[in-house]
Structure 1
Amino acid sequence: MVDGFSNSNAIPGLILVGAFAVPFSGLVFFFESNAFKDISLFEVIKVFFIGGIFSMVVTLFLYQFVTFSSTSQIFGVLTLKDSLSIGIVEELGKVLIISYFISQLDVHHVLDGILIGAAVGSGFAAFETAGYIYRANTQLVAVAILRGWSAIGGHLVWAAITGGAIMIVKRDHPFKFSQLLDTRFLVFFVLAVLMHAAWDWNITILGSDYLKLILLIGLAWIVVFVLMNAGLKEISHLKQQSHS
């Protein structure tokens, strides 16, 4: 409708669908996968909107302490250093908000952390993508399609990974920021940062940007499934305790 019929009234709908459809659908998957069902749908949606907005605000604040290379500023080409800076800043911004909601909701399970992380990450992804589509001018349909399908393996899953990792070190204890220095968390956090950096870095695999994205999406979901498996083992452990 936007291109074929030159109808500018369709632009808000394109932005809404292109930015929110995939991240929110992925969030529904994580909500349904949380076997404990101890976080209500209302809470999840609240974290999606509030967490998504505030994680972007925190990220924008952290960007004030980052300097990008002249290559990036002049030609728009991200170097490895630039990409790592983006990965660290944006993943750290989301982690701080995820930590807040984990503490506020007082959750105790790995699957809970994955869900909260996915809620913050999907909100971040949706609002960020809305901005990209809005600024795309004549390319807004192409941008909406690309960022739409690739959102299934971006901020949504990177934040789900760090959310689950926080719960691995927190467990039943009250949240403390010192827990973010635990090696078990840092391993997953660094993985998320590296995947994010590789996503943004101006390199291709066999000359294809799409192949790079597909491989990174697959890797991210493998890490998520590892964490979800740990969460399912936690259920079995709790069942054994209840029967003993």
Structure 2
Amino acid sequence: MKPKLWRRIFVIGLLLWTATVAVTAWTGNSNLVPTVVLFGSFLVPVTFVVWAYGRGRSPGVTVERLFMAFVVGGILGVLGASLLESWLVHPSITMYVLVGLIEEGVKLAALVFVTRHMERRFTRDGVVLGATVGFGFAAFESAGYAFNALFSADGLSLAQLVETEVLRGILTPVGHGLWTAITGGALFAAGGRLASARVVLTYLGVSALHALWDSMTAIAIAITLVLTGQPWQFRELRIGMVPHVTDWQVHVFTIVNWAGLIVISLVALVWLWRIVASTRREPQIRPNNHGNERVPPTAPDA
């Protein structure tokens, strides 16, 4: 793979997406909306998959397997999560915990499915393929969010669609792809054994990070009220009213919310870094005679 290919993909994709948004806004041509949705939803996930692919892997991580992990794994994850959440998740105090367990569980199951024929399992390969499944999940999920954001009380809103895609694109690298990279690394480090203590504990830990991420808005509201709440606001809450908030409280909420998301992301990034650092004890991956492939000292995957 050509060096820095991921940069070219991102820059060219971003320019094309920006041009599509501009032409759609200028002409009002609704036929271009699907292009805006797909480009905006897939640009960042695809870029990060290409980046991860070039960071070191064994021959078992082929382009075909990567494609399967992104498309098949991503779609299976989205479908599985949609079914299970419609059956099991209802508004309650445990809602976010269930969502975290379900979505991380279906992504892990999808990873197991698309890598079931791999014989040799290197931890770094698990990280790359896990991230790919997670980014596939994120891409298809973001497309759904972007599509829903298109509809407003005043009709179709291109502005809401673009805002949704920009925000989700910024947050994508520290979301689904990062979490599933961690579980993928743990799974491959355990030789693909789902029942191993390492995989189970990693799955529960990543699900907890996912639940905290999803519930951060509610947590930030609670912390803001504890720190700055006025007696009259608590009285209104007790009788079921939504109290008016001050400008200062809006600022506090924003700071707490983003600070929480940053802390969650840093915890996940440090966790992934430790997993990748542990791969130094595995057989090293070295270039072959062609200079564009990497092979381990032992025989490659069948």
TM range (shorter): 0.7 to 0.9
Matched letter for residue 33 of structure 1: R
| 283, 288, 298: which one aligns with 1:235 | 283
Matched letter for residue 197 of structure 1: A
Contact map agreement 2:56 2:285 (CA 8 A) in 1: no
Contact map agreement 1:102 1:113 (CA 8 A) in 2: no
Matched letter for residue 181 of structure 1: A
Q: In 2 relative to 1, CA 237–150 (structure 1 residues): closer, same or farther, beyond 3 Å?
A: closer
Of 60-69 and 91-100, deviating more is 60-69
Give the % identical residues. 28
Counting only pairs closer than 5 Å after superposition, residues 91-170 of structure 1 correspond to structure 2 as 91-137=104-150, 138=157, 139-170=160-191
TM, length-normalised to structure 1: 0.82
Contact map agreement 2:108 2:180 (CA 8 A) in 1: yes
Q: In 2 relative to 1, CA 215–10 (structure 1 residues): closer, same or farther, beyond 3 Å?
A: farther
Instruction: Show the counterpart of 1:213.
Output: 261
Matched letter for residue 203 of structure 1: I
Of 222-231 and 89-98, deviating more is 222-231
Cα offset, 1:215, TM superposition: 2.8
| 36, 40, 47: which one aligns with 1:25 | 47
Count of matched residue pairs: 224
Gaps (5+ residues) in structure 2? 1-21, 151-156, 224-251, 287-296
1:55 aligns with 2:39: no
Cα offset, 1:6, TM superposition: 4.2
RMSD between aligned residues: 2.4
Gaps (5+ residues) in structure 1? 71-78
Instruction: Show the counterpart of 2:33.
Output: 11
Distance in 2 separating the partners of 1:215 and 1:3 = 37
Any idea what SS the aligned residue of 1:235 has?
Answer: coil
TM, length-normalised to structure 2: 0.67
1:225 aligns with 2:247: no
Distance in 1 separating the partners of 2:112 and 2:86 = 22
Of 13-22 and 129-138, deviating more is 13-22
Matched letter for residue 48 of structure 1: F
Matched letter for residue 45 of structure 2: P
Matched letter for residue 150 of structure 1: L
Contact map agreement 1:51 1:123 (CA 8 A) in 2: yes
Distance in 1 separating the partners of 2:124 and 2:268 = 16
Matched letter for residue 97 of structure 1: A
Identify, as 1 or 2, the structure richer in helix: 1
Any idea what SS the aligned residue of 2:121 has?
Answer: coil
Matched letter for residue 142 of structure 1: E
Cα offset, 1:159, TM superposition: 0.9
Matched letter for residue 18 of structure 1: G
Indicate the structure (1 or 2) with the bigger Cα radius of gyration.
2
String of CA shifts for 1:162-183, please: whole Å, max 9, x gaps. 111111211xxxx4xxx32322
Any idea what SS the aligned residue of 1:30 has?
Answer: helix
Matched letter for residue 207 of structure 1: F
Cα offset, 1:64, TM superposition: 4.2
Contact map agreement 1:14 1:144 (CA 8 A) in 2: no
Any idea what SS the aligned residue of 2:61 has?
Answer: coil
Distance in 2 separating the partners of 1:211 and 1:18 = 26
Instruction: Show the counterpart of 1:73.
Output: none
Any idea what SS the aligned residue of 1:152 has?
Answer: helix
Q: In 2 relative to 1, CA 58–67 (structure 1 residues): closer, same or farther, beyond 3 Å?
A: closer
